[in-house]
């Protein structure tokens, strides 16, 4: 069975309706997404809006909440699927945070859905690791990577892991994931970049060029990777990765 998996940080500032339109255009079977947000003050629920427009099943879990911001109430990760979701789980990689002072202190969560493909189940997990200045490794992110590695160490069959890891291909984070010999990097080549398509300026880190690779897709060894490519789009500050596999 062939499946198309889309990994995409959709950028909390982006209009979720534009994200949904792009997903419809790309037409993946499963979408792993980060930076979905809710805003109770504006009655805005990004995962619900996207799901209703693309007509996929979905599972969302917040990683961080605020009652002190006007623009966001919560932010987290989601998995959308054309196929029924049989079961879900989540685990915090950094402590759940209320009203964090800045982006480096936001909570981070791993979410997983077991997706029913006829008589079989496919495990799909995704996460968004901590931000740091120029994506340098930090003790906080190292701790998150260690915890993520512990979670996935027994995921041996029919499993896909994606995420915005906020780290480079040769980093501690990526190497820690690949210590799991049951997983392989699904590509595309490390030289292909995913961030940023929009000007970024935060606490002295400025970037306005597409020259960072911080998004990834990994699959268990028995899954055959047919293709993996970065999709060009003007929606979001990240470019999505579309990976076609045979399970």
pLDDT single digits (tens) 215-225: 999 999 999 99
pLDDT level of residue 70 (50, 70, 90 thresholds): confident
How much is the pLDDT for 127? 98
Domain ranges of the chain: 2-246
- Reported as a single tens digit per residue, the pLDDT across 159-168 is 999 999 999 9
Query: 122 pLDDT band (50/70/90 cuts)?
Result: very high
Q: If residue 26 lies in a helix (H) or strand (E), which one and from where to where?
A: helix 16-26
- State yes or no: pLDDT of 96 exceeds 90: no
Spell out where the chain has E strands: 2-9, 30-39, 44-45, 57-65, 74-81, 85-94, 97-98, 108-117, 120-128, 159-164, 183-185, 200-202, 205-207, 215-220, 224-230, 241-246
| Sheet bearing 215-220, strands edge to edge | 85-94, 108-117, 120-128, 159-164, 215-220, 183-185
- Contact, 30 vs 6, CB < 8 A? yes
Question: Which pLDDT value is given to residue 185?
Answer: 98
**pLDDT of the residue at 41:** 80
pLDDT of residue 214: 98
pLDDT at 40 > cutoff 90: no
Share of the chain above pLDDT 70, in %: 100
Fold of 2-246: Deoxyribonuclease I; Chain A (3.60.10)
Residue predicted with more confidence, 20 or 42: 20
Pairing between β-strand 74-81 and β-strand 2-9 as defined by DSSP bridges: unpaired
Query: Per-residue pLDDT for 134 more than 90?
Result: yes
Neighbours of 181 (CB within 10 A): 8
């Amino acid at each position: 069975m062939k499946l198309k998996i889309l990994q995409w940080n959709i950028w909390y500032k982006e209009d979720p309706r534009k994200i949904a339109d792009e997903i419809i255009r790309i037409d993946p079977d499963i979408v792993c997404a980060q930076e979905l947000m809710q805003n109770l003050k504006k009655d805005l629920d990004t995962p619900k809006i996207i799901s209703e427009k693309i007509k996929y099943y979905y599972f969302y879990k917040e990683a961080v909440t605020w009652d002190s911001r006007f623009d966001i109430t919560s932010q987290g990760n989601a998995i959308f699927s054309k196929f029924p979701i049989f079961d879900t789980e989540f685990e915090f990689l950094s402590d759940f945070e209320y009203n964090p002072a800045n982006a480096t202190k936001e909570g981070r969560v791993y979410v997983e859905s077991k997706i029913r493909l006829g008589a079989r189940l496919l495990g799909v997990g995704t996460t968004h690791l901590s931000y740091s200045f120029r994506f340098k490794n930090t003790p906080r992110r190292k701790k998150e990577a260690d915890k993520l590695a512990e979670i996935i160490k027994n995921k041996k069959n029919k499993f896909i892991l994606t995420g915005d890891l906020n780290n480079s291909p040769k980093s501690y984070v990526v190497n820690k994931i690949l210590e799991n010999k049951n997983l392989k990097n699904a590509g595309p080549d490390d030289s292909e970049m995913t961030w940023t398509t929009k000007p970024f300026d935060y606490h002295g880190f400025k970037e306005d060029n597409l020259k960072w690779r911080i998004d990834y897709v990994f699959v268990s060894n028995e899954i055959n990777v047919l293709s993996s490519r970065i999709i060009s789009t003007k929606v979001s500050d990240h470019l999505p990765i579309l990976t076609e596999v045979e399970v």
